[in-house]
Amino acid sequence: EDQVTQSPEALRLQEGESSSLNCSYTVSGLRGLFWYRQDPGKGPEFLFTLYSAGEEKEKERLKATLTKKESFLHITAPKPEDSATYLCAVLRAGNNRKLIWGLGTSLAVNP
């Protein structure tokens, strides 16, 4: 069965304390893996798409990497404004565009 698992469920960091969020997946034929950020009371905000193992993408303090079994979202020197829930979703090969979503990691960065 296709599945996306994110860990940890919640993470609390001090400002400047780098860390990584994990998204592991089992899917028959990966077409793409997506990272989103969601702030309370808002819709998910698109961050990155990764298509193949070994691919990396960066945006400000965030860097996403992909292997054949999992993806990491590395947060370097986080700031309080990075506090949010980070969602991972995968798109499997096929004709439709249905994403399989993880439950998210809730990140809190203390000043």
Partner 1 sequence: EAGVAQSPRYKIIEKRQSVAFWCNPISGHATLYWYQQILGQGPKLLIQFQNNGVVDDSQLPKDRFSAERLKGVDSTLKIQPAKLEDSAVYLCASSPPSTSGGSYEQYFGPGTRLTVT
Question: Which two three-digit tokens encode residue 83?
Answer: 């506090």
CB of 53 to partner 1, least distance (A): 16
CB of 111 to partner 1, least distance (A): 25
- How many whole angstroms separate alpha carbon 22 and alpha carbon 105? 9
Burial class from Cβ neighbours inside 10 Å (0-12, 13-18, 19+) for residue 75 reads buried
Nearer to partner 1, 27 or 76 (CB): 27
Taking the least distance from each CB to partner 1, the nearer of 39 and 81 is: 39
3-state secondary structure of 81: helix
Q: Is the dihedral of CA 73, 22, 87, 98 positive or negative?
A: positive
CA distance 6 to 92: 17
- Smallest separation, CB 16 to partner 1 (Å): 28
CA 95 to chain centre: 24
Which residues of this protein are in contact with partner 1, per CB under 8 A? 4, 31-32, 34, 36, 41-46, 49, 51, 87, 89, 91, 96-99, 101-104
How near is the Cβ of 76 to partner 1 at its closest, in Å? 23
Minimum CB distance to partner 1 smaller for 76 or for 99: 99
- Of 37 and 82, which CB lies nearer to partner 1 in the complex structure? 37
